[in-house]
Structure 1
């Protein structure tokens, strides 16, 4: 199985390479300049020659706050670019696994969001990701749209790495405590995406044995394996909860630690509004694929251990959410 991944330097691309290497999957990560989702001419020209069996669209404009002043750039990558990737996958006759975000929700529902719940993004980033979902679904009936949230890893820049850095600089850190979400370890997410890719590829091969391509396309939209899924770590946390878990894991291994001063969102204003409660219900993923991501607390411990042991690279992801 050859999986082509759009995006080369982000947390998820690094994690997919790591998980793929340990499981014998051929992972090809493509990025700028040869593949630039904001430059339409590069997308199909690059992807059509890859020999992909499945495409995972992990490339994204992830600067949530900067998107408020650069909405056109976020749209070019997250919406228009995502649609072009899905079109290329359709031309290749292969499924697309597209990574989206909890920021498509406004956070006012006060229970974990299910896939069919109302989408209402609060800012330019979330709006661009929602438009991307729509374009991917329209371009390729064999789509698996995976919404995830609060992604962290040993790679790039993210919340866990920021907390460890701050713990080495100060005794106390103020962290927002009135936003709830589903922290997701990028290595757990990568493993789930590879399992999804295997299943949809197996389904494609099975379908092609019994029906011609035209019928496959008509059937695909109704296939239970396709559609929108929530793929996030088990359990829930506030940012303050996550910070406390990071510091506890670090202290237990002799690393830096700090006290958490719990603050409200209003005490830490940002250009973009964040959803107050963007927890994701991943029951559909378990039902259709048999996949349950580990509890975020255990995964935080693994991430911190890797960071303290120096078992990580330095990607360029710019946000704790994809």
Structure 2
């Protein structure tokens, strides 16, 4: 059983750059992107669902499958980034030559908003203080081992049920490469997942998230940027972003969180969007020293 709706696209809309960030790089058990087609399995308030988005010319055709098909179809435009409002960003960008150029180059990139908090909490906690390769391996294993198939015509897995996560002991996560600190943070968030999903906006979600031990400003920003499409969410505490911002906006090879926030202040309301534009533009500070090593907690 499926339902469909058609979404009109704004001029220059970039489908891939707008939705691809919702999937982990490489293989994501809960989604798929194939150029003009995007699939996303969700555990919605109305039940399990899979959303299919197909781009054809100036339109997106959205199809929902499963008990939560109605919910995910109502949310399809937000998931595609079509509720992202750049109106107040244009005058801020115009005041800075580099940001103005990036804003013009990537004018078709929109910020998605899933409306689902725990889905983003899982990924953000897994990405704390480790390499992307480690985090994405753990994500794939958790979604594959601790969840069930999603509805729909293609083989996808649902994101894990928070109740299942909360009831799973640490020793199950250890072979996935999860140390006790991140596992405990994930379990705490899973216990209060219902309350997190009921947060009215990004500010409330940030307050509730950062009240949990093991979740700080970085994790909260990573969550609300995706769950609420918050364009002002800045990942304070990130290993790379302060340096990128300092280099791009001030020509300084290294930057602190405080310096990053100072340089982003003129873009208040869209500070996270500016960070995203710098990433889309491939701007990065000069690299010094060794890379972070890839470790395997499963062997400890």
TM norm. shorter chain > 0.5: no
Give the TM-score, by structure 1 length.
Answer: 0.26
Greater relative contact order (Cα 8 A, min sep 6): structure 1 or 2?
A: 1
Give the TM-score, by structure 2 length.
Answer: 0.27
